[in-house]
């Protein structure tokens, strides 16, 4: 059977899900700008707990969460170095 000439690269054919995610994340700074412009920024507080004999919350860290237009979190590692 002869294969037709397809305009997709080998990576897309091997792993279409990762290809789609990489394509979406390729313009991550545009996603960040859009999230900020449309109010899709969230602040999350994470408790930091001591690990001594009596664990207690020592303090909280504030974490920014930006959401894309489908309300999925844009990973901070993609836009904060």
Going from N- to C-terminal start, the domains of the chain cover 10-78
pLDDT tops 50 at residue 4 = no
More confident residue, 58 or 31: 58
pLDDT tens digits along 62-72:
998 999 888 98
Q: Is 12 exposed, middle or buried (0-12, 13-18, 19+ CB in 10 A)?
A: middle
Residue-wise pLDDT tens digits, 25-38? 667 888 889 999 99
The tokens describing 27, both together, are: 């313009």
Cα angle for residues 47, 51, 54 (degrees, 5° grid)? 95
The rounded mean pLDDT for the chain is 80
Q: How many angstroms separate the CA atoms of 3 and 47, rounded?
A: 56
pLDDT confidence tier of residue 14, bands split at 50, 70 and 90: confident
């Amino acid at each position: 059977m002869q294969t037709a000439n397809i305009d997709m690269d080998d990576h897309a054919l091997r792993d279409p899900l990762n290809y789609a995610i990489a394509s979406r994340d390729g313009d991550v700074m545009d996603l960040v700008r859009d999230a900020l412009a449309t109010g899709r920024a969230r602040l999350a507080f994470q408790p930091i707990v001591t690990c001594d004999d009596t664990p207690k919350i020592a303090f909280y860290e504030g974490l920014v969460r930006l959401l894309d237009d489908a309300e999925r979190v844009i990973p901070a590692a993609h836009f904060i170095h």
